[in-house]
Amino acid sequence: MIESLFLVVGFMSLVLLLFTNRFMLFGITAVASFFGYFMLMDSGTLLTFVLFLIGILLLIAEVFIPDFGLIGIIGIGMIGFGYFSNRTDLWGSVMDLSLALIIAVVTAYILLRKGYRFVPGQKLILASSLQGQRGYSTGKNYQEYLLQRGHAVTVLRPAGKAEVNGTILDVVSDGKVIPEGTVIEVVKVEGIKIIVRELT
């Protein structure tokens, strides 16, 4: 059904939003797709759409505020309430949502396989403003750290801090969560983006 396609496109747009830097394009596409889905439902209302959308935004906020938990729980609750209040056919709702989530997960998997990385974690790094006199590196050529080893100062999930050659750096793991204190190696440097992997 056409409404199911709107839901699929909405969730795929969210995945693309999180894995690329085209936030405006995919953000607008996601909102428009979800709006179309809710408005095509017989019982769809603006209120259920707004609740669903706020829930999505809270889940995205949870990505930027890891380990807080409460935001994500509230977000899931609002998504569930807004979505299932929108349909009188419970089985149809479950099927539509399951299909959209499966396609979204497959899309995320394909992007990861093609070398895309989770953008929100990278944005957290770029948002940091740290002073060089406190041991942080600013305005440097980070190529000098390529293939150098150090250890994770914080948990990398995937963004965090690591100490390499006595300097604390903002780094991104190669996709895995790396515990604090783990020995790491710098495997790639892209401008000010430093990618590390765990050494076992």
In the DSSP assignment, the letter for residue 144 is G
Choice between 170 and 37, residue whose per-residue pLDDT is larger: 170
Q: What pLDDT does 151 receive?
A: 92
Q: What CATH fold (topology level) applies to the domain 143-198?
A: OB fold (Dihydrolipoamide Acetyltransferase, E2P) (2.40.50)
Choice between 75 and 110, residue whose per-residue pLDDT is larger: 110
What are the tens digits of pLDDT across the range 128-152? Answer: 444 444 444 445 678 888 888 999 9
Q: For 59-85, what is the mean pLDDT?
A: 71
Least confident of 57-66, 105-114, 147-156: 57-66
Least confident of 2-11, 28-37, 82-91, 115-124: 115-124
Q: For 110-128, what is the mean pLDDT?
A: 58
Q: For 77-81, what is the mean pLDDT?
A: 77
pTM of this structure: 0.50
Instruction: State the helix-helix crossing angle for 119-126 and 2-19, rounded to 10 degrees.
Output: 40
Q: What pLDDT does 138 receive?
A: 47
With beta carbons less than 8 A apart as the criterion, state whether 118 and 158 touch: yes
Q: What pLDDT does 53 receive?
A: 83
Going from the C-alpha of 191 to that of each of 109, 136, 139, 140, 159, the distances in angstroms are 26, 16, 10, 10, 16
Going from the C-alpha of 177 to that of each of 12, 31, 82, 113, the distances in angstroms are 24, 30, 32, 17
Q: Enumerate the domain spans of the chain.
A: 1-114, 143-198
Q: For 148-163, what is the mean pLDDT?
A: 89
Mean pLDDT of the chain: 76
Only one residue has tokens 């948990």, namely 155
What are the tens digits of pLDDT across the range 29-45? Answer: 888 888 887 777 655 67
pLDDT score of 121 more than 50: no
